[in-house]
Amino acid sequence: MTKDLLGRHRAVLPDWLALYYDEPIEITHGEGRHVWDAAGNRYLDFFGGILTTMTAHALPEVTKAVSEQAGRIIHSSTLYLNRPMVELAERIAQLSGIPNARVFFTTSGTEANDTALLLATTYRRSNTILAMRNSYHGRSFSAVGITGNRGWSPTSLSPLQTLYVHGGMRTRGPYAALNDDEFIAACVEDLTDLLGHTRPPAALIAEPVQGVGGFTAPPDGLYAAFREVLHERGILWIADEVQTGWGRTGEHFWGWQAHGRSGPPDMLTFAKGIGNGMSIGGVVARAEIMNCLDANSISTFGGTQITMAAGLANLTYLLEHDLQGNARRVGGLLIERLRAVAAQVPAVREVRGRGLMIGIEVTRPGTDEADPQAASAVLEAAREGGLLIGKGGGHNTSALRIAPPLSLTVAEAEEGAGVLERALRSIG
């Protein structure tokens, strides 16, 4: 039955729409931190639909909110007053830390970043964007144009002039051997030098932790140091929180807060986990930036009632159950457990991350050379052991990505770590 579906998939969908595993699986249902495939196999889910099932599969509070809203009205568009949209916008504006904030809802992180780029270039009257090397910001034409990861950049054509800055990868690149303070100083010097050779850019867009890039991050404080340079020149800072938001990193509700001495960003983009699987994305910006457009703009499906109901229920559950604190506690235990395993596996170069956003970089033993085949072998072995994980990487790296729902228990973390240990040991 799955083979038949795979044949139909290949016959009608694009070749570049990749599937995990040598024998792809169809996930039919989930509950809590577990999912089941069409063959009845049960898996512990350590990837959450690419960090999207943020609280839990089939969370009763969310399914109830969606069901009740569907029984009233599903959609009316942004041309009419929408109570759930206003209520969720109020909560996100307050949580964002951005003063006098306005919120615009979209249907994805790609569209959120696309909107932020539109706002920044219009507000600053510049089409030059600063972006980080090894970054990923989505699959739209403009988002691809600012993505610094070759594996996710199918074209060099772009409506934007993009300049790439050092700093997103702490343990690779020309500054990797420096200590944290020296690393930050070198990256700031590089940014300052770059700005001396170009017309003033509109904005810097940066993920506090690079998601698709393999969960890499700079030392805390880098973006605060960047902000000081940018602020002097009126250049905006866009924090891409599509993967890092809502407490996933444990220590902070937003990833930018690890770099917060200079205050919040000018804009913040979000998506992924807020809808717990429903399609929600959005932008938070200071009012003068959000309101700078002088032409009509709407989002037909952004902020639709049924997704807003899901987002409100999901956010309420996350805050009331302190899932950020759970990510910090359980994630910390999981990282230490995996580092202990990695110390005995020569193919593991690094275990990195914070909270429940953990990357395991795999290389050829004794070298810094990426080993994507070994990473794929671990992915397969983990699935055979009943665990679903992700993969990513850039800059000639191969990384395993671990990002379970934030309600993960200590027992489940230990169970998943055991499966990962066996999978890692299988590649030597």
What is the residue range of 128's domain?
63-320
Q: What residues does 390 pair with on adjacent strands?
A: 401
* Nearest-angstrom CA–CA distance, 169 and 163: 16
Instruction: Evaluate whether 199 touches 128 at the Cβ level (below 8 Å).
Output: yes
pLDDT value at position 238? 98
Same structural domain, 75 and 179: yes
Same structural domain, 50 and 106: no
Rounded to 5 degrees, φ, ψ at 338 are -70, -35
Q: Label residue 260 left, alpha or beta by phi (over 0 means left) and psi (-120 to 50 means alpha).
A: alpha
Fill in the DSSP letter of residue 149: -
Structure-derived torsion over alpha carbons of residues 277, 280, 283, 284, reported in degrees to the nearest 10: -80
Rounded to 5 degrees, φ, ψ at 331 are -65, -40
Same structural domain, 73 and 197: yes
CATH number at 404 reads 3.90.1150.10
Mean pLDDT of 54-72: 98
- 3-class SS at 25? coil
The domain boundary, picked from 300, 320, 340, lies at 320
Number of domains in the chain: 2
In this model, does residue 1 exceed pLDDT 70?
no
Read off the pLDDT of residues 87-101 as tens digits, 9 standing for 90 and up.
999 999 999 999 999
DSSP secondary structure of 306-317: HHHHHHHHHHHH
Read off the pLDDT of residues 97-124 as tens digits, 9 standing for 90 and up.
999 999 999 999 999 999 999 999 999 9
Read off the pLDDT of residues 136-155 as tens digits, 9 standing for 90 and up.
999 999 999 999 998 888 98
* Nearest-angstrom CA–CA distance, 257 and 253: 8
The domain boundary, picked from 273, 300, 320, lies at 320
The domain boundary, picked from 320, 335, 368, lies at 320
CATH number at 284 reads 3.40.640.10
- Dihedral sign computed on CA atoms, order 240, 246, 247, 248: negative
Same structural domain, 291 and 357: no
Number of residues written out for the chain: 428
Read off the pLDDT of residues 309-324 as tens digits, 9 standing for 90 and up.
999 999 999 999 999 9
